[in-house]
Chains A and B, each alone.
Chain A
Amino acid sequence: MNFWTEYFLLVFGALIGALQIAVAHSKLLGLSFFSRRLWGYLFGIPMVVGSFWWFFASSDRNILVLEFPNFHTGMMISCTALALLATFLLTLSVSSLVKANRLKVNGDIEHGLEVLKQMTYFQIIRYLFRKKRQG
């Protein structure tokens, strides 16, 4: 596998795990894959540790990267940004699908992360579309 693909997978795996730990701690259930916060920690910690373990155990990483050596910093930033985008897309989709029937919309909502304590992202989008249609 190409080095930058492996780096992308490292960042992607670590971000997924870290995000599940963070939303478990902050009770943002609408972003969590699980109904109980404990499962968020039990999933997130091995995900982060496992990603690092796999990346560093699979090959010597203290060597000069031969793919795009003159654009090393740019490639790191690009792969990290792509992994962050992929993490958000996956997290928003999976949490919305898993929690579709478990979280209910109650009354009017405000924006911001706080609303994700009660709703999933897809529920927020559906709510905003309905509100726009109603005028």
Chain B
Amino acid sequence: MPPDTGLLLHIHSLVGTFPWLDSLMRLAVNDYLIPLVLFLILLGLWFGSQDAMRRERNQRAVVLAAAGMGITHLVIILLEGTFHFNPWLRPFEAFPDKVNPDLLFYRPWDPSFPCHAAAVGFALATGILLSNRKAGIIMYFMAALWGFARIYVGVHYPLDVVGGWAVGALSSYIAYKGSPLFKPLLSLLFKGMNWLCLADAHNHKG
């Protein structure tokens, strides 16, 4: 049992108290809304700047954020598939009389720790934050909302979300710091996309 069980039960006890909060969390916890909004932000960063140099910086950030998300998925597959890391039961399994996610969500069957949603959301947000502060802060807010909603409806502990943040943020940081090692590959990718007029590559020429 994780040490933050009390905090989870306190947050989950709010369900049914404020209808507007229930409606907000019902939307926020969804598997499709926030991921798609994050994806639309990435699309906006790729195409949305009037200045070519700034657009190129944003495009590079999008590629590194995607790489960070890829590393996050690999880490989770290793943790769960290879090492069968599953330190505790889901809240609704451990406390069936106190936690009921059925009011706002369904019952996931994969391990509780780390929270996949938080890992993916924070991987993308961190990847962008390292290059574009404004967009990164907005994405961090959305990822945090998604993670909190998972606690609110009773499918994750706060520590699961913190663990997801750690996995996602670290994965994107590794992708960011490791990018000089893949400079030839990145240059080739951007040159190709530049030739196809789908990306900018002023800094990747020559």
Contacts and interface: CB of A to CB of B under 8 A. Distances in A.
Interface of A: 7, 10-11, 14-15, 18-19, 21-23, 25-28, 31, 48, 52, 55-56, 61-64, 72-73, 76, 80, 111-116, 121, 124
B201 A62 contact: no
B106 interface: yes
Contacts of B160: none
Given A22-B47, A61-B32, 20 more contacts: A11-B36, A15-B40, A18-B40, A18-B44, A22-B43, A25-B50, A26-B47, A26-B48, A26-B50, A28-B47, A52-B33, A56-B33, A61-B30, A63-B106, A111-B197, A111-B201, A112-B201, A113-B55, A115-B197, A124-B197
B52 interface: yes
Contacts of B47: 19, 22-23, 26, 28, 31, 113
A67 to B, nearest CB: 14
B44 to A, nearest CB: 5
Nearest to A63: B106
Given A113-B199, A121-B197, A10 B36 contact: yes
A63 to B, nearest CB: 5
Interface string B47-69: 11110100100000000000000
Given A10-B32, A61-B32, A112 B39 contact: no
Contact of B39 (A21, A63, A80): A80
A25 B30 CA distance: 29
B200 A62 contact: no
A122 B177 CA distance: 38
Interface in B18-55: 26-27, 29-33, 35-36, 39-40, 43-44, 46-50, 52, 55
Interface of B: 26-27, 29-33, 35-36, 39-40, 43-44, 46-50, 52, 55, 73, 104-107, 194-202
6 contacts: A14-B36, A22-B46, A62-B106, A112-B194, A114-B200, A121-B197
B43 A62 contact: no
Contacts of B198: 113
A111 B195 contact: yes
A25 to B, nearest CB: 5
B197 A27 contact: no
Given A113-B47, A113-B199, A62 B55 contact: no
A114 B104 CA distance: 46
Given A56-B27, A62-B30, A111 B50 contact: no
Contact of A112 (B27, B30, B43, B197): B197
A27 B50 contact: yes
A25 B48 contact: yes
Given A113-B198, A124-B197, A64 B106 contact: yes
The 3 A-B residue pairs whose C-beta atoms are closest, nearest first, are A22-B47, A22-B48, A18-B40
A26 B49 contact: yes
